[in-house]
Amino acid sequence: MREVEYRSNGVPLEEYTLSRWDHRRQKQSEETSERVQQQVDEDNAKCRADPARAERRRQAFETVARLMQSFKKQDHEITRWRVRLYCGHIIETEAHYTYTDPIDAGGYSKRCPECRKDGLTIVAFEPIGLRGEPPEAREPAPPPPPKKSSRAELERRVTALERENERLRAELNG
């Protein structure tokens, strides 16, 4: 596992005053959420009007869900983050250990479990640590000993090599 230097932004557990930048990011997040919801509503309407399209979308979602499940990560590959949301509540979130912060990991906004508001931007964050301990480094297992050949296999090999030897001598003398 490679070393990653994690970033922090503010201290979520300390008093935090929202900045103009925080307000601007939250407004952008809300506008983006509204546009996305409009697109989802339009797509849902198209799917209600076209059952074949609805079936293709269902199959695509199932394929993506299976693919995501196949990429299940081990606990030592997941970093836990403490984040303060725009609403002021503090939650924990997780991301793959290779991300230096939860925003880069796609956690730009979250749903708050306390006030139930959706699309809240992260205004402060700090790493807590890995979800689990990495396994201890082990020596690689030695290769298995070569399989012993049976007497019959060895006799066939000797016979084949003797024929090859005769053929090469004939070519050399020939």
Residue 57 pLDDT > 70: yes
Lowest mean pLDDT among 40-44, 54-58, 59-63, 102-106: 102-106
Determine the pLDDT at residue 87: 93
Residue 108 pLDDT > 80: no
Q: Model-level pTM greater than 0.85? A: no
Q: Is 55 helix (H, G, I), strand (E, B) or coil?
A: helix
Q: Kindly state whether residue 163 falls inside one of the protein's structural domains.
A: no
Q: Kindly state whether residue 122 falls inside one of the protein's structural domains.
A: yes
The pLDDT tens digits of the residues spanning 64-106 come to 988 888 888 888 889 999 999 999 999 999 988 889 989 888 8
Q: Kindly state whether residue 142 falls inside one of the protein's structural domains.
A: no
| Structure tokens given for 162 | 């003797």
Number of domains in the chain: 1
pLDDT tier at 48 (50, 70, 90 boundaries)? very high
Q: Kindly state whether residue 46 falls inside one of the protein's structural domains.
A: yes
- Amino acid letter, 41: D
> Which secondary structure element, helix H or strand E, spans residue 152, and what is its range?
helix 151-173
Residue 2 pLDDT > 80: no
Q: Kindly state whether residue 109 falls inside one of the protein's structural domains.
A: yes
Query: What length does the chain have?
Result: 174
Q: Which domain holds residue 104?
A: 20-130
Q: Kindly state whether residue 25 falls inside one of the protein's structural domains.
A: yes
Q: Kindly state whether residue 11 falls inside one of the protein's structural domains.
A: no
- Amino acid letter, 20: R
Determine the pLDDT at residue 111: 86
Rounded to an integer, what distance in angstroms lies between the CA atom of residue 81 and that of residue 125?
7
Q: Kindly state whether residue 15 falls inside one of the protein's structural domains.
A: no
Determine the pLDDT at residue 105: 84
Rounded to an integer, what distance in angstroms lies between the CA atom of residue 103 and that of residue 108?
5
Rounded to an integer, what distance in angstroms lies between the CA atom of residue 68 and that of residue 14?
36
121-160 exposure pattern, b = at least 16 Cβ within 10 A, e = fewer: bbbbbbbeebeeeeeeeeeeeeeeeeeeeeeeeeeeeeee
Is the separation of the CB atoms in 29 and 117 below 8 Å? no
Residue 142's region, left for phi above 0, alpha for psi from -120 to 50, else beta, is beta
